[in-house]
Amino acid sequence: VRQDAYAARSHARAVATRDAGGYADELVAVGGVSRDERPRAITVDRLARLRPAFRPAAEGGTVTAGNACGVNDGAAAVALVDAATYRRLDVPGLRVLATATAGVDPQLPGLGLVPSARQALDAAGRTLDDVDVVELNEAFAGQVLACCDALGLDPARVCPEGGALALGHPWGASGAVLLVRLFTQLVRRNAGRTGLAAIAVGGGQGVAMVVERCP
């Protein structure tokens, strides 16, 4: 139930953001497709009807197609420049405060973002209380919830405008998508100053970055 409730909230947030035009400034139409197709109005009750994907419910299976991300086509781009170039361009942006890569037991790959997030926050001299926007890659609702529990992070703070459970998980692009989402919220919408992006990687790795809005 907790996984389905989290997934339903991700979809609801994404639908609300999409319908309000909140993604418009970060999307480029390709082949006539101008908006994300996966977000949908969906309820916890409907999600609860779906069959577990990896093991039967009788054996404790809880992960379904509804509380897991979609494997979508997609791309994202970011530009990383040095301070001198940034000053010369005089454009809005985010400053990278710290990055971290960490690893955990390969049998628990979804938890890799936990140590990487902790290390990035420590390197930046920040705590979760200092972070205004948190973007974690939502590969599975259960995975995100486990990471939140380990970090002591309220799941309601994660992906405030919807995440990969609703928007999809285009392989090779999802990390950049998290940064684009932080740019939109911190810079375009002035929803705070500091952001955390973190993603788990198959094999047990995790990558995290702490950024802040440039003045």
| Residue 152, domain CATH | 3.40.47.10
CA-based nearest residue to 124, from 197, 176, 182 = 197
CA-based nearest residue to 138, from 175, 189, 106 = 175
CA-based nearest residue to 3, from 49, 57, 68 = 68
CA-based nearest residue to 138, from 12, 6, 38 = 6
Print the domain residue range for 168. Answer: 1-215
Per-residue pLDDT for the chain (215 aa), expressed as one digit of tens each? Answer: 899 999 999 999 999 999 999 999 999 999 888 888 889 999 999 999 999 988 988 888 999 999 999 888 899 999 999 999 999 999 999 999 999 999 999 999 899 999 999 999 999 999 999 999 999 999 999 999 999 999 999 999 999 999 999 999 998 899 999 999 999 999 999 999 999 999 999 899 999 999 999 97
Question: What is the reported pTM?
Answer: 0.94
Domain count along the chain: 1
- DSSP class of residue 118 equals H
Distances (CA, A) of 5 to 25, 28, 59: 29, 31, 21
Q: Are the C-beta atoms of 134 and 178 separated by less than 8 Å?
A: no
